[in-house]
Amino acid sequence: MKKSKNVFHCGRSGITASRQLIVAALFLLGPLLFPALSTAVSITGESSTYMQSRQSAEGSKELPLYEYLNFAVQDIGKETISFQFGGWLRYDLKKNNDDPDLSRTNNDLSYAYLHYRGNSANTVFNLGRVMVFEGVASERVDGIYARTDLAKNFGVSVFGGSPAETGTDLPGNKNIYGARLSHQAPGLYQIGLSALQEQKDSADFRKEEGIDLWVRPVNKVELLGKSRYNGITSAWSDHSYFIVLGPFDKVTLNTDLSQINYKDYFTGTTSSVFRFDPLVIDRNEKVSIVGEQVAFRATDRVSLSVDYKTYSYEIAGKAAYSGGAVGYALEKALGAGFSLHKMDGDTTGLRYTEYRVYGYNKAGKTDIALDLLLVAYGAEINGVKEARSVTLGAAYELSEKMKLGADVEYSSNPYFDKDIRTFVKLSYKFDIASSAHTGAPEQGKRKEGAQ
Protein backbone atom coordinates (compact mmCIF):
# COMPACT_ATOMS: atom_id res chain seq x y z
CA MET A 1 0.00 0.00 0.00
CA LYS A 2 1.40 3.41 -0.97
CA LYS A 3 1.80 6.31 1.36
CA SER A 4 1.17 9.95 0.56
CA LYS A 5 3.88 12.20 -0.77
CA ASN A 6 4.13 15.95 -0.87
CA VAL A 7 7.56 17.19 -1.82
CA PHE A 8 8.48 20.66 -3.06
CA HIS A 9 11.22 21.02 -5.62
CA CYS A 10 13.51 24.00 -5.90
CA GLY A 11 13.84 25.34 -9.41
CA ARG A 12 16.02 27.97 -11.03
CA SER A 13 13.67 30.69 -9.84
CA GLY A 14 14.89 30.22 -6.26
CA ILE A 15 17.92 32.48 -6.74
CA THR A 16 15.82 35.20 -8.34
CA ALA A 17 13.23 34.99 -5.58
CA SER A 18 15.96 35.29 -2.92
CA ARG A 19 17.23 38.50 -4.49
CA GLN A 20 13.72 39.85 -4.69
CA LEU A 21 13.17 39.04 -1.01
CA ILE A 22 16.28 41.11 -0.18
CA VAL A 23 14.98 44.00 -2.29
CA ALA A 24 11.65 43.77 -0.50
CA ALA A 25 13.36 43.80 2.90
CA LEU A 26 15.24 46.98 1.95
CA PHE A 27 11.97 48.53 0.84
CA LEU A 28 10.49 47.62 4.21
CA LEU A 29 13.40 48.81 6.34
CA GLY A 30 14.45 51.83 4.30
CA PRO A 31 11.86 54.29 5.66
CA LEU A 32 12.66 53.17 9.22
CA LEU A 33 16.45 53.28 8.87
CA PHE A 34 16.43 56.59 7.01
CA PRO A 35 13.28 58.37 8.16
CA ALA A 36 14.73 61.80 7.42
CA LEU A 37 14.72 60.96 3.71
CA SER A 38 11.09 59.88 3.63
CA THR A 39 7.68 61.18 4.52
CA ALA A 40 5.60 59.56 7.25
CA VAL A 41 4.84 55.97 6.29
CA SER A 42 2.85 53.14 7.82
CA ILE A 43 3.64 49.47 7.43
CA THR A 44 1.00 46.83 8.03
CA GLY A 45 1.19 43.12 7.41
CA GLU A 46 1.23 39.61 8.75
CA SER A 47 3.87 36.97 9.35
CA SER A 48 2.76 33.32 9.44
CA THR A 49 5.18 30.59 10.48
CA TYR A 50 4.22 26.96 9.89
CA MET A 51 5.90 23.73 10.93
CA GLN A 52 4.56 20.45 9.59
CA SER A 53 5.34 16.85 10.46
CA ARG A 54 4.56 14.25 7.80
CA GLN A 55 5.81 11.04 6.25
CA SER A 56 7.16 10.62 2.71
CA ALA A 57 6.07 7.89 0.31
CA GLU A 58 9.20 5.93 1.25
CA GLY A 59 8.42 6.15 4.97
CA SER A 60 10.95 8.75 6.14
CA LYS A 61 9.98 11.61 8.44
CA GLU A 62 9.72 15.11 6.99
CA LEU A 63 9.77 18.35 9.03
CA PRO A 64 9.32 21.33 6.68
CA LEU A 65 9.30 24.82 8.18
CA TYR A 66 7.57 27.63 6.25
CA GLU A 67 7.55 31.39 6.63
CA TYR A 68 4.87 33.41 4.82
CA LEU A 69 5.25 37.19 4.88
CA ASN A 70 2.75 39.75 3.56
CA PHE A 71 2.97 43.49 4.12
CA ALA A 72 2.05 46.87 2.66
CA VAL A 73 4.07 50.08 2.93
CA GLN A 74 1.61 52.98 2.74
CA ASP A 75 2.08 56.70 2.07
CA ILE A 76 5.32 56.54 0.09
CA GLY A 77 5.85 60.11 -1.08
CA LYS A 78 2.10 60.60 -1.45
CA GLU A 79 -0.86 58.84 0.07
CA THR A 80 -1.74 57.41 -3.36
CA ILE A 81 1.50 55.38 -3.58
CA SER A 82 2.18 52.17 -1.69
CA PHE A 83 4.33 49.04 -1.91
CA GLN A 84 2.73 45.58 -1.67
CA PHE A 85 4.65 42.38 -0.90
CA GLY A 86 3.92 38.68 -0.40
CA GLY A 87 6.26 35.69 -0.42
CA TRP A 88 7.33 32.54 1.37
CA LEU A 89 10.43 30.53 2.35
CA ARG A 90 10.76 26.84 3.21
CA TYR A 91 13.49 25.00 5.10
CA ASP A 92 13.48 21.27 5.89
CA LEU A 93 14.56 20.77 9.49
CA LYS A 94 15.26 17.10 8.72
CA LYS A 95 17.32 16.01 5.74
CA ASN A 96 15.53 13.76 3.25
CA ASN A 97 17.36 10.44 3.48
CA ASP A 98 15.37 9.02 0.56
CA ASP A 99 16.72 11.72 -1.78
CA PRO A 100 19.94 13.24 -0.33
CA ASP A 101 20.36 15.51 -3.39
CA LEU A 102 16.99 17.18 -2.84
CA SER A 103 17.40 20.78 -1.73
CA ARG A 104 16.32 21.51 1.84
CA THR A 105 15.27 25.05 0.95
CA ASN A 106 12.80 26.62 -1.44
CA ASN A 107 11.12 30.00 -1.83
CA ASP A 108 8.74 31.94 -3.99
CA LEU A 109 7.87 35.58 -4.42
CA SER A 110 4.09 35.73 -4.81
CA TYR A 111 3.90 39.46 -5.53
CA ALA A 112 5.97 42.61 -4.97
CA TYR A 113 4.98 45.84 -6.67
CA LEU A 114 4.64 49.58 -6.41
CA HIS A 115 0.97 50.55 -6.40
CA TYR A 116 -0.44 53.88 -7.53
CA ARG A 117 -4.11 54.79 -7.16
CA GLY A 118 -5.40 57.96 -8.77
CA ASN A 119 -7.87 60.33 -7.19
CA SER A 120 -10.35 59.93 -10.05
CA ALA A 121 -11.56 57.50 -12.74
CA ASN A 122 -10.59 54.46 -10.62
CA THR A 123 -7.08 54.72 -12.05
CA VAL A 124 -4.62 52.06 -10.86
CA PHE A 125 -1.02 51.41 -11.92
CA ASN A 126 1.09 48.53 -10.58
CA LEU A 127 4.79 47.92 -11.36
CA GLY A 128 6.78 44.83 -10.32
CA ARG A 129 5.59 41.25 -9.78
CA VAL A 130 1.87 41.88 -10.10
CA MET A 131 -1.28 39.77 -9.81
CA VAL A 132 -3.69 40.14 -12.73
CA PHE A 133 -7.35 39.05 -12.58
CA GLU A 134 -9.05 40.50 -15.64
CA GLY A 135 -11.49 38.46 -17.73
CA VAL A 136 -9.62 35.45 -19.16
CA ALA A 137 -6.45 36.45 -17.30
CA SER A 138 -5.56 35.02 -13.92
CA GLU A 139 -1.80 35.55 -13.91
CA ARG A 140 1.37 36.50 -12.08
CA VAL A 141 3.45 38.82 -14.23
CA ASP A 142 6.82 40.49 -13.81
CA GLY A 143 5.88 43.73 -15.48
CA ILE A 144 3.06 46.27 -15.39
CA TYR A 145 -0.68 46.37 -14.88
CA ALA A 146 -2.93 49.40 -15.30
CA ARG A 147 -6.63 50.17 -15.43
CA THR A 148 -8.85 53.24 -15.65
CA ASP A 149 -12.41 54.31 -16.39
CA LEU A 150 -13.19 55.96 -19.71
CA ALA A 151 -16.07 58.13 -20.86
CA LYS A 152 -19.66 56.87 -21.18
CA ASN A 153 -19.19 54.08 -18.59
CA PHE A 154 -16.43 52.30 -20.50
CA GLY A 155 -13.34 50.97 -18.75
CA VAL A 156 -10.04 49.50 -19.89
CA SER A 157 -7.21 47.49 -18.30
CA VAL A 158 -3.88 46.36 -19.78
CA PHE A 159 -0.92 44.30 -18.60
CA GLY A 160 2.35 43.03 -19.97
CA GLY A 161 5.71 41.54 -19.02
CA SER A 162 7.24 38.16 -18.34
CA PRO A 163 5.01 35.39 -16.91
CA ALA A 164 5.95 34.18 -13.42
CA GLU A 165 4.79 30.57 -13.69
CA THR A 166 4.93 27.65 -11.28
CA GLY A 167 6.63 24.38 -12.14
CA THR A 168 6.92 24.90 -15.92
CA ASP A 169 10.45 26.38 -16.15
CA LEU A 170 10.46 26.12 -19.94
CA PRO A 171 13.64 27.42 -21.61
CA GLY A 172 13.74 30.47 -23.84
CA ASN A 173 12.42 34.01 -23.74
CA LYS A 174 8.90 34.43 -22.42
CA ASN A 175 6.47 37.32 -22.56
CA ILE A 176 2.79 37.83 -21.91
CA TYR A 177 0.41 40.69 -22.52
CA GLY A 178 -3.32 41.29 -22.58
CA ALA A 179 -6.19 43.71 -22.13
CA ARG A 180 -9.86 43.95 -21.14
CA LEU A 181 -12.47 46.44 -22.36
CA SER A 182 -15.67 46.75 -20.34
CA HIS A 183 -18.92 48.66 -20.27
CA GLN A 184 -21.41 48.97 -17.44
CA ALA A 185 -24.67 50.46 -16.32
CA PRO A 186 -24.13 50.74 -12.54
CA GLY A 187 -26.43 48.41 -10.62
CA LEU A 188 -27.75 46.82 -13.81
CA TYR A 189 -24.95 45.10 -15.75
CA GLN A 190 -21.26 44.95 -16.60
CA ILE A 191 -19.86 43.18 -19.64
CA GLY A 192 -16.21 42.68 -20.56
CA LEU A 193 -14.21 41.53 -23.59
CA SER A 194 -10.69 40.34 -22.84
CA ALA A 195 -7.69 38.70 -24.50
CA LEU A 196 -4.20 37.54 -23.63
CA GLN A 197 -1.26 36.17 -25.56
CA GLU A 198 1.79 34.38 -24.17
CA GLN A 199 4.86 33.56 -26.23
CA LYS A 200 7.95 31.44 -25.66
CA ASP A 201 10.84 31.98 -28.06
CA SER A 202 8.55 34.05 -30.32
CA ALA A 203 6.12 31.12 -30.70
CA ASP A 204 2.55 31.26 -29.37
CA PHE A 205 2.21 29.28 -26.14
CA ARG A 206 -1.22 30.59 -25.13
CA LYS A 207 -3.74 32.69 -27.02
CA GLU A 208 -7.08 33.25 -25.32
CA GLU A 209 -10.08 35.52 -25.76
CA GLY A 210 -13.20 35.71 -23.68
CA ILE A 211 -16.34 37.42 -22.53
CA ASP A 212 -17.44 37.96 -18.93
CA LEU A 213 -20.64 39.46 -17.61
CA TRP A 214 -22.66 40.37 -14.55
CA VAL A 215 -26.34 41.17 -14.93
CA ARG A 216 -28.98 42.13 -12.36
CA PRO A 217 -32.11 42.82 -14.45
CA VAL A 218 -34.43 43.03 -11.44
CA ASN A 219 -34.08 42.80 -7.70
CA LYS A 220 -33.22 39.30 -6.42
CA VAL A 221 -32.20 38.01 -9.87
CA GLU A 222 -28.49 37.89 -10.64
CA LEU A 223 -26.48 36.26 -13.47
CA LEU A 224 -22.69 36.14 -13.67
CA GLY A 225 -20.16 34.09 -15.60
CA LYS A 226 -17.67 33.94 -18.43
CA SER A 227 -16.71 32.05 -21.60
CA ARG A 228 -13.19 31.49 -22.88
CA TYR A 229 -11.99 30.81 -26.44
CA ASN A 230 -8.66 29.10 -27.23
CA GLY A 231 -7.10 30.86 -30.21
CA ILE A 232 -4.52 28.11 -30.73
CA THR A 233 -6.97 25.21 -31.01
CA SER A 234 -9.72 27.45 -32.47
CA ALA A 235 -12.34 26.17 -30.03
CA TRP A 236 -14.22 27.27 -26.92
CA SER A 237 -12.36 25.87 -23.92
CA ASP A 238 -14.90 26.50 -21.14
CA HIS A 239 -18.11 28.20 -20.13
CA SER A 240 -19.08 28.89 -16.52
CA TYR A 241 -22.28 30.67 -15.42
CA PHE A 242 -24.18 31.10 -12.16
CA ILE A 243 -27.74 32.27 -11.55
CA VAL A 244 -28.81 33.42 -8.08
CA LEU A 245 -32.49 33.90 -7.28
CA GLY A 246 -33.45 35.39 -3.95
CA PRO A 247 -33.48 35.49 -1.12
CA PHE A 248 -37.25 35.11 -1.18
CA ASP A 249 -38.24 35.30 2.46
CA LYS A 250 -35.90 32.55 3.70
CA VAL A 251 -35.15 30.69 0.45
CA THR A 252 -32.31 31.20 -2.06
CA LEU A 253 -31.83 29.25 -5.31
CA ASN A 254 -28.38 28.85 -6.87
CA THR A 255 -28.00 27.43 -10.39
CA ASP A 256 -24.65 26.31 -11.85
CA LEU A 257 -24.16 25.83 -15.61
CA SER A 258 -20.69 24.99 -16.96
CA GLN A 259 -18.84 23.12 -19.68
CA ILE A 260 -15.15 22.25 -20.00
CA ASN A 261 -13.21 20.85 -22.98
CA TYR A 262 -10.05 19.45 -21.38
CA LYS A 263 -7.87 19.50 -24.52
CA ASP A 264 -8.60 23.16 -25.20
CA TYR A 265 -8.63 24.22 -21.53
CA PHE A 266 -5.18 22.79 -20.73
CA THR A 267 -3.34 23.52 -24.00
CA GLY A 268 -0.83 25.91 -22.42
CA THR A 269 -0.12 24.56 -18.94
CA THR A 270 1.34 27.23 -16.64
CA SER A 271 1.50 25.08 -13.49
CA SER A 272 2.68 21.54 -12.85
CA VAL A 273 -0.59 20.96 -10.97
CA PHE A 274 -2.37 20.66 -14.33
CA ARG A 275 0.01 18.17 -15.92
CA PHE A 276 -2.28 15.16 -15.92
CA ASP A 277 -1.31 11.52 -16.09
CA PRO A 278 -2.99 10.30 -19.32
CA LEU A 279 -3.79 7.03 -17.54
CA VAL A 280 -5.88 8.95 -14.99
CA ILE A 281 -7.47 11.78 -17.00
CA ASP A 282 -7.99 11.68 -20.77
CA ARG A 283 -7.18 15.06 -22.33
CA ASN A 284 -9.91 14.40 -24.90
CA GLU A 285 -12.54 14.39 -22.18
CA LYS A 286 -15.39 16.89 -22.19
CA VAL A 287 -17.85 17.52 -19.40
CA SER A 288 -21.10 19.48 -19.04
CA ILE A 289 -22.32 20.31 -15.53
CA VAL A 290 -25.79 21.42 -14.47
CA GLY A 291 -26.49 21.96 -10.79
CA GLU A 292 -29.13 23.40 -8.50
CA GLN A 293 -29.03 24.21 -4.79
CA VAL A 294 -31.94 25.32 -2.63
CA ALA A 295 -30.86 26.96 0.62
CA PHE A 296 -33.36 27.56 3.42
CA ARG A 297 -32.71 29.73 6.47
CA ALA A 298 -35.03 28.04 8.98
CA THR A 299 -34.10 30.34 11.90
CA ASP A 300 -31.35 32.80 12.73
CA ARG A 301 -29.26 29.81 13.85
CA VAL A 302 -30.37 26.87 11.69
CA SER A 303 -29.81 26.53 7.94
CA LEU A 304 -30.80 23.73 5.58
CA SER A 305 -29.87 23.00 1.97
CA VAL A 306 -30.45 20.37 -0.69
CA ASP A 307 -28.54 20.16 -3.95
CA TYR A 308 -28.45 18.14 -7.15
CA LYS A 309 -25.78 18.26 -9.85
CA THR A 310 -25.39 16.25 -13.06
CA TYR A 311 -22.09 15.56 -14.81
CA SER A 312 -22.17 14.50 -18.46
CA TYR A 313 -18.73 13.18 -19.43
CA GLU A 314 -18.14 12.36 -23.08
CA ILE A 315 -15.79 9.46 -22.21
CA ALA A 316 -16.43 8.57 -18.55
CA GLY A 317 -20.22 8.66 -18.96
CA LYS A 318 -22.82 10.34 -16.81
CA ALA A 319 -22.98 10.91 -13.07
CA ALA A 320 -25.28 12.61 -10.59
CA TYR A 321 -24.24 14.17 -7.27
CA SER A 322 -27.04 14.82 -4.79
CA GLY A 323 -27.57 15.36 -1.10
CA GLY A 324 -28.20 17.83 1.64
CA ALA A 325 -26.78 19.59 4.66
CA VAL A 326 -27.92 21.06 7.94
CA GLY A 327 -25.96 23.63 9.93
CA TYR A 328 -26.22 25.39 13.26
CA ALA A 329 -24.37 28.59 14.06
CA LEU A 330 -24.45 30.84 17.10
CA GLU A 331 -22.83 33.95 15.64
CA LYS A 332 -19.07 33.17 15.46
CA ALA A 333 -18.82 31.41 18.80
CA LEU A 334 -20.38 27.99 18.25
CA GLY A 335 -21.37 25.92 15.25
CA ALA A 336 -21.91 22.39 13.98
CA GLY A 337 -23.14 20.69 10.86
CA PHE A 338 -23.79 17.45 9.02
CA SER A 339 -23.93 16.68 5.31
CA LEU A 340 -24.70 13.60 3.24
CA HIS A 341 -24.05 13.35 -0.50
CA LYS A 342 -24.07 10.53 -3.01
CA MET A 343 -22.35 10.29 -6.37
CA ASP A 344 -23.95 7.81 -8.77
CA GLY A 345 -22.10 7.41 -12.07
CA ASP A 346 -21.51 5.04 -14.97
CA THR A 347 -17.93 4.21 -13.91
CA THR A 348 -16.58 2.72 -10.66
CA GLY A 349 -14.71 5.89 -9.71
CA LEU A 350 -17.96 7.86 -9.87
CA ARG A 351 -19.89 5.78 -7.34
CA TYR A 352 -19.55 6.71 -3.70
CA THR A 353 -21.36 8.13 -0.65
CA GLU A 354 -19.86 11.02 1.29
CA TYR A 355 -20.55 11.79 4.97
CA ARG A 356 -19.26 14.85 6.83
CA VAL A 357 -19.67 16.03 10.42
CA TYR A 358 -18.03 19.16 11.79
CA GLY A 359 -18.15 21.42 14.81
CA TYR A 360 -16.36 24.45 16.21
CA ASN A 361 -16.36 26.49 19.38
CA LYS A 362 -14.80 29.75 20.50
CA ALA A 363 -14.44 30.25 24.22
CA GLY A 364 -12.61 33.40 25.21
CA LYS A 365 -9.23 33.36 23.47
CA THR A 366 -9.43 29.68 22.44
CA ASP A 367 -10.80 28.23 19.19
CA ILE A 368 -11.41 24.50 18.72
CA ALA A 369 -12.64 22.75 15.56
CA LEU A 370 -13.31 19.11 14.64
CA ASP A 371 -13.97 17.79 11.12
CA LEU A 372 -14.77 14.17 10.19
CA LEU A 373 -15.11 12.94 6.60
CA LEU A 374 -16.01 9.44 5.39
CA VAL A 375 -16.28 8.36 1.75
CA ALA A 376 -17.78 4.91 1.12
CA TYR A 377 -17.09 3.58 -2.40
CA GLY A 378 -19.59 1.53 -4.36
CA ALA A 379 -16.84 -0.95 -5.24
CA GLU A 380 -13.40 -1.66 -3.82
CA ILE A 381 -10.45 0.37 -5.08
CA ASN A 382 -7.09 -1.32 -4.48
CA GLY A 383 -8.92 -3.64 -2.09
CA VAL A 384 -10.25 -0.76 0.03
CA LYS A 385 -13.90 0.37 0.24
CA GLU A 386 -13.55 3.54 2.35
CA ALA A 387 -11.57 6.73 2.66
CA ARG A 388 -11.65 8.68 5.91
CA SER A 389 -10.08 11.68 7.55
CA VAL A 390 -10.25 13.22 11.01
CA THR A 391 -8.92 16.71 11.68
CA LEU A 392 -8.68 18.35 15.10
CA GLY A 393 -7.55 21.95 15.30
CA ALA A 394 -7.05 24.46 18.11
CA ALA A 395 -5.82 28.04 18.31
CA TYR A 396 -5.11 30.45 21.16
CA GLU A 397 -4.82 34.25 21.02
CA LEU A 398 -1.58 35.13 22.78
CA SER A 399 -2.35 38.80 22.21
CA GLU A 400 -4.46 41.01 19.94
CA LYS A 401 -1.88 40.54 17.19
CA MET A 402 -0.44 37.09 17.84
CA LYS A 403 -2.13 33.70 17.59
CA LEU A 404 -0.74 30.19 18.10
CA GLY A 405 -2.49 27.16 16.62
CA ALA A 406 -2.06 23.46 15.90
CA ASP A 407 -3.82 20.83 13.76
CA VAL A 408 -3.61 17.05 13.81
CA GLU A 409 -4.94 15.14 10.81
CA TYR A 410 -5.35 11.40 10.34
CA SER A 411 -6.40 10.07 6.96
CA SER A 412 -6.48 6.88 4.92
CA ASN A 413 -7.74 5.99 1.45
CA PRO A 414 -7.25 3.37 -1.29
CA TYR A 415 -3.87 4.86 -2.24
CA PHE A 416 -2.15 4.85 1.18
CA ASP A 417 -2.89 2.94 4.35
CA LYS A 418 -2.56 5.85 6.78
CA ASP A 419 -1.16 9.34 6.98
CA ILE A 420 -0.74 11.33 10.18
CA ARG A 421 0.20 14.98 9.91
CA THR A 422 0.70 17.64 12.53
CA PHE A 423 0.65 21.31 11.73
CA VAL A 424 1.74 24.15 14.04
CA LYS A 425 1.11 27.80 13.11
CA LEU A 426 2.24 31.06 14.67
CA SER A 427 0.77 34.21 13.11
CA TYR A 428 1.65 37.78 13.98
CA LYS A 429 0.02 40.96 12.66
CA PHE A 430 2.25 44.02 12.77
CA ASP A 431 1.53 47.71 12.40
CA ILE A 432 4.40 50.17 12.32
CA ALA A 433 4.35 53.93 11.81
CA SER A 434 7.42 56.04 11.05
CA SER A 435 7.22 59.77 11.72
CA ALA A 436 9.16 62.17 9.50
CA HIS A 437 9.06 64.75 12.30
CA THR A 438 10.68 62.76 15.10
CA GLY A 439 12.69 60.36 13.00
CA ALA A 440 11.69 57.51 15.31
CA PRO A 441 9.56 54.49 14.45
CA GLU A 442 6.38 54.04 16.47
CA GLN A 443 5.06 50.55 17.16
CA GLY A 444 1.36 49.81 17.31
CA LYS A 445 0.20 53.15 15.86
CA ARG A 446 -1.46 53.32 12.49
CA LYS A 447 -1.70 56.41 10.35
CA GLU A 448 -5.26 57.60 10.10
CA GLY A 449 -6.71 56.73 6.73
CA ALA A 450 -4.17 54.00 5.90
CA GLN A 451 -5.57 51.02 4.06
Task: Dump the DSSP string for 22-65.
Answer: HHHHHHHHHHHH-GGGS--EEEEEEEEEEEEEEE-TTS-EE-EE
pTM of structure = 0.80
Q: What is the pLDDT along the chain (451 residues), one digit of tens a residue?
A: 443 333 333 343 444 444 454 455 545 545 544 444 455 788 999 999 999 998 766 667 889 999 999 999 987 766 689 999 999 999 998 877 666 677 889 899 999 999 999 888 899 999 999 999 999 999 999 999 999 999 999 999 999 999 987 655 555 668 999 999 999 999 999 999 999 999 988 788 899 999 999 999 999 999 999 999 999 999 999 999 999 999 998 999 999 999 999 999 887 665 555 555 565 677 889 999 999 999 999 999 999 999 999 999 998 889 999 999 999 998 878 999 999 999 999 887 789 999 999 999 999 999 999 999 999 999 888 889 999 999 999 999 999 999 999 999 999 988 888 889 999 999 999 998 765 544 444 444 433 333 3
Cis peptide before 247 (omega within 30 of 0): yes
Q: In the chain, what are the domain boundaries?
A: 1-111+426-451
Which of 377, 258, 236, 378 has the alpha carbon at shortest distance from 309? Answer: 258
The CA distance from 226 to 134, in Å, is: 11
Contact 169, 154 (CB under 8 A): no
Contact 447, 72 (CB under 8 A): no
